[in-house]
Chain A
Amino acid sequence: MIEARKARVATVSLAGCFGCHMAILDIDERLIELMKLVDFDRSPLTDKKTFTNRCDIGIIEGGCCNEENVHVLRDFRRNCDVLIAIGQCAIMGGLPAMRNAIMHSDAPLRECLEEAYITGKYIRNTTHNIPNDPALPLMLDEVYPCSDVVEIDYQIPGCAPEGDIIFETLTRLLAGKFHGFSSDSIKFD
């Protein structure tokens, strides 16, 4: 017999600004309704850093800009039945992907980092170094959408998606009644 339990949800912010997690909070008082349906496992909302259980739904904010993002995303794919990418960064790279257009060779990356950490007009970096601590994850050559790294089941567009569309999508998925978005609810900004 299938055990009756709440759906388990994990969330993570990769190369994102945390805005999509703020948008999850924009569900407002309906969070109480949602919490009757789900338990949060690994998530910044619970401060759990690792999976304690296999999850039904994994929610990914942000794309992949470094090797740690890729590692975490693969971990989510292994531990979640359904992966949902929320927001433009997770779907197509978003703001961090602005660097892709200047990343066709190595020299522009150096220029970009030098301007950000050394030569930029408004920089106060007393070490005059580009951060290179071994603990820092290695930057990828480009910023990748999540669907380039693992299989993604659903994508909720928006920057950030409104609380309404997140709530609607989650509750419909949980009820097995999700059949895509209506045209007037799609927004990329």
Chain B
Amino acid sequence: MSDPDFTFTIDGKTIAGKPGQTIMEAADEAGVYIPRLCDHEGLRHQGGCRICTVKAEGRSVAACTQPAAAGVVVESETDHINKLRRDLVEMLFHEGNHLCPICEASGNCELQAMAYRLDMTAPTKFPFLEPCRELDASHPDIALDTNRCISCGRCIRASQDIDQKGIFGYVGRGIHRRVAVNGNNLAGTDADIADNAVSADVCPVGCIIRKGVGFATPIGEREFDQGMIGTDIEGKRRD
């Protein structure tokens, strides 16, 4: 006998949940968007970026990994939580070299779109770390600019779980933890342009670059020029 379906609330809205669902999965189905960067449809949850932090019964949890449960009271769109989310996004901007005006992902970038959604207009007073990382353009169809990487690990999970290849992985620890390729460079791996890990949707920023298509869609007509991130999920809400 399986557990019956249940309901819980997010910001006072009643959400239907099924056993085994995370808070975010149930919210997505109900048309309530919880901001996220490291989580991506079709990939296993990681709970790494913490942008999806919500308060469940007063405790801060990652909505993408926390199981939904009957009667739980979840807070998401509060000033306090959105301030925490904005702080996280701001720190990501300071950690790498995120120069939107020169980045071909601008307009399709989830980090940038999240900054728009969370009303980030200017950098904080934190120092910019300004890393100087090598560009890997060795592969004929794909280039990697890890100066823009936010270590979300989406390419790692896509390559391991969907492509069954393991081209990408984490190296280092703490603030030095970075995404790297399993080989001397990308050309030394069996990466292919048809891999799910290098498809346009998996990398949320402009780190994995598909060569030859960069400006096929001009700035101003791109995904997040059409609407704010999350509006596709919010559009499913029926109240």
B-binding residues in A (CB < 8 A): 88, 91-92, 94-95, 97-98, 100-102, 104, 145, 147, 155, 157, 159, 180-181, 183-184, 186-189
Chain B residue nearest in CB terms to A89: B101
B159 to chain A, nearest CB (A): 27
Q: Is the CB of B116 within 8 A of A183?
A: yes
Answer yes or no: B200 CB below 8 A from chain A CBs. no
Q: Is the CB of A181 within 8 A of B99?
A: no
Q: Is the CB of A101 within 8 A of B97?
A: yes
Contacts A98-B102, A188-B101, A188-B112 aside, 9 further interface pairs with beta carbons under 8 A come to A91-B123, A95-B101, A101-B132, A104-B132, A147-B122, A184-B228, A189-B101, A189-B106, A189-B219
Q: Is the CB of B119 within 8 A of A183?
A: yes
B207 to chain A, nearest CB (A): 15
Chain B residue nearest in CB terms to A102: B132
| A contact residues around B115 at 8 Å (CB) | 186, 188
| A contact residues around B101 at 8 Å (CB) | 88, 94-95, 159, 188-189
Q: What are 20 pairs between A and B in contact, CB < 8 Å?
A: A88-B99, A88-B101, A91-B121, A91-B123, A92-B123, A94-B101, A100-B128, A100-B130, A101-B132, A145-B123, A157-B121, A180-B119, A181-B121, A186-B115, A186-B119, A186-B120, A188-B100, A189-B100, A189-B106, A189-B219
In the complex, which residues 90-134 of chain B have their Cβ closer than 8 Å to any Cβ of chain A?
A: 97, 99-102, 106-107, 112, 115-123, 128, 130-132
Answer yes or no: B147 CB below 8 A from chain A CBs. yes
| A contact residues around B123 at 8 Å (CB) | 91-92, 145
Q: How many A-B residue pairs have CB under 8 A?
A: 66
| A98, A104, A155, A180: the one within 8 Å of B99 (CB) | A98
Majority SS of interface residues in chain B?
A: loop
Chain B residue nearest in CB terms to A87: B101
Chain A residue nearest in CB terms to B96: A101
- Give the complex CA separation of A188 and B115 in angstroms: 9
Q: Is the CB of B102 within 8 A of A95?
A: yes
Chain B residue nearest in CB terms to A187: B116
- Give the complex CA separation of A104 and B117 in angstroms: 33
Q: Is the CB of A183 within 8 A of B117?
A: yes
| B contact residues around A95 at 8 Å (CB) | 99, 101-102
B99 to chain A, nearest CB (A): 6
With A98-B102, A183-B228, A189-B101 as known contacts, state yes or no: A155 contacts B122, CB within 8 Å.
yes
